[in-house]
Chains A and B, each alone.
Chain A
Amino acid sequence: MPELTLLEAIRQGLDEAMAADARVFVFGEDVGRRGGVFRVTEGLLDKYGPLRVIDSPLAESVIVGACIGAAMNDARPIAEIQFADFIYPAFNQIISEAARIRYRSNDDWHVPLVIRAPYGGGIHGALYHSQSIEALFCHVPGLKVVAPATPYDAKALLKASLADPDPVLFLEHKKCYRLIKGQVPDGDYQVEIGKADIKRQGSDLTVLTYGLMLHYSLEAAEVLAGEDIDVEVVDLRTLRPLDTATILASVRKTSKLLIVHEDNLTGGLGGELAAIVAQEAFEQLDAPIMRVCGPDVPAMPYAKPLEEAFLPSPATIADAMRVLAAY
């Protein structure tokens, strides 16, 4: 199996999907000639032409909105939001329209749309090029939210998102783009939307996480292994719908739960995860549920030390693991 970066895996997924289905097109700012800001769509214009790889005007509302309309009309659009931070002009289209059309039309219409958005910090992007947006969208019934952290998962989940008959927000951690490499099979293979994956087996405590924080948590777990603490790390992969079966089985096994996300604490996905576990596995818990999250400040600051403090690090995650293990 060839080794690819997360970015290359997504590009390969796009390429294979476009080759396999003429209904698939890519619509977004500078996705064509420039190949996207991160070069995810590089080469696609040459291969599939300007009718299928479209440099849109700078207008997120209509980028997503037009894709919703096209999806309802049997196309398979992939809308690219250049940075997740720029998705808000399209918020209304996603929430009021895409997420509700199946329900609202009494199942007459549906929206097989994928919205790709690079999110997250750690690249010195400052306030408006670093945000985590997932919690805002996970709140919305009718949407699916996917956040793969490995090249293997990313390619397969992109295909699964395209095959899904409902709108999927596909989040790509931009710091992982080139940092994370892994084996990726050529062609099709399956990873289902809605299935978490245990990336590291362990018995002393469970970590629920996703995105860049998966890799930091795995790093921290390795350190803890040297201290005879055996950490299980669960990669959620899909943030809505949550894989409650895998989540609960892991917590029932280890009896301790640490939730790690880069998105800020209050109202973040961690709150929901904690509520599910408290409700369903209260009897099996041996310690309070802990969270390591981004601080509740309005956006990731630019200055390097502040950015570093904003992001949970392997060291701070390891600290929390120790506290929990010792409880």
Chain B
Amino acid sequence: MTETKKAKPVPASNGTTNGAAPLEGYAPVMYDIARENADEMKQHYYQMVLLRRFEERAREMYTKAKIGGYCHLNLGEEATIIGLMAALQEPDYIYTNYREHGYIIARGVEPGPVMAELFGKEDGISGGRGGSMHLFDASKHFMGGYGIVGGQCPLATGAAYAINYKGDPGVVLCQVGDSTTNIGAWYESLNLAALYNLPVIFFIVNNGFGMGTSVEEHSSEPDLWKKGDSFRIHGERVDGTDVLAVRDAARRLRERAEKERKPAIMDVVSFRFIGHSVIDSDRYRDQAEVKANRLKFDPITKFEQQLREAGMIDDAYVKEIGDRVEGEVQAAIDFADKSPAPKMEDMYQYMYATDVPNIISDAERELFEARLSGGK
């Protein structure tokens, strides 16, 4: 039997242990929870619980065959997502990879149309044609989940170029996974972003693994925040299980990108709770260790603890949020269940803006139409 891979330990917030000096690469964590706005904190908590429950139930729906194909969950990345989204502003554009359910919900899209997309239904946010990996919402400047690894990097860079070019407000957020920092498109984008002073933040969700390959195995520079060095791009590492640490770092770098037109790299460390996708058995990781790490690096219990200690929430509140979220996610599932399948005619929709002939002859058309109705 091949050895399973040791999961990389996630450092404590700030990279410090017991008041020691911050680890290399970490920005100092400045927040004091006691001075935070309690309503905002509760909102973050609620959102994190919502994402968690959404993903857990999506996983369940997959086992019930309501969802098929490839479905990647954000379990363990709730603080990373909510912290980031708290820092972004309305005009900002967001590009992500295929592990994006949480991002689009946190950006303000209702869970219903997201779940309906996972179900492949007409009311899905992408009309059911994309599924889990291809969520889009132009009105929210959510520029899509990208199924091709690295596909989003040049596009995000170009979007930042357009912002500069037009003098628009806002920045571009380019989310990638740790493993994505090995593909050419990533490096080509970094160079352009630095060369042309583009307001883009490359946000690495460093969950320790690209599928079954650990960061140490896939990247000759495992300190991913340093990967911009030769492009003169500033990078820093953030504890991705600390929602406020992520928020603060993202805020600071966002403002810098907007005001000073400087790209940045954020290396946001968390722990991937389950396999790469719902159907990945995760056999390549030591399961006892995975289990222990799930408890140790659970961003929700961590934040809950912080809020309890600050006297902002109590048992009753935790229960209230649990119930509320349960109802909301169930409503999303019901919405998805009730939504009809996409119409066959929609197959040919949205290929071009103009009328482009796509069928050779009437005979050909007849055959295709017969096929769309399941054969003669």
Contact = CB atoms under 8 A, between A and B. Distances in A.
A126 B213 contact: no
Contact of B375 (A61, A62, A298, A315): A315
A296 B344 contact: no
Interface of B: 1-5, 68-70, 120-121, 128-134, 147-150, 179-180, 182-185, 210-213, 217-219, 283-284, 341-342, 344, 346-348, 351, 358, 367-368, 370-372, 374-376
B184 A59 contact: yes
Interface residues of A, number: 47
A62 B374 CA distance: 43
B129 A33 contact: no
Contact of B68 (A124, A127, A297, A306): A124
A128 interface: yes
A136 interface: no
Contacts of A301: 128-130, 342, 347
A188 interface: no
Contacts of B133: 126-128
B134 A126 contact: yes
B147 A129 contact: yes
A304 B374 CA distance: 13
Interface stretch (A3-11, A231-239, A316-324): A316-324
Given A303-B129, A312-B371, A316-B370, 4 more contacts: A30-B212, A45-B2, A126-B134, A310-B347
B130 A126 contact: yes
Nearest to A318: B375
Given A89-B183, A298-B351, A302-B131, A124 B219 contact: no
Contact of B120 (A30, A123, A302): A302
Contacts of A255: none
A45 B128 CA distance: 39
A313 interface: yes
A91 interface: no
A46 B1 CA distance: 7
B353 to A, nearest CB: 14
A237 B111 CA distance: 46
Contacts of B368: 295
Contact of A305 (B2, B342, B348): B342
A55 B148 CA distance: 19
A309 B69 contact: no
A306 B70 contact: no
Given A57-B218, A59-B184, A309 B371 contact: yes
B213 A55 contact: yes
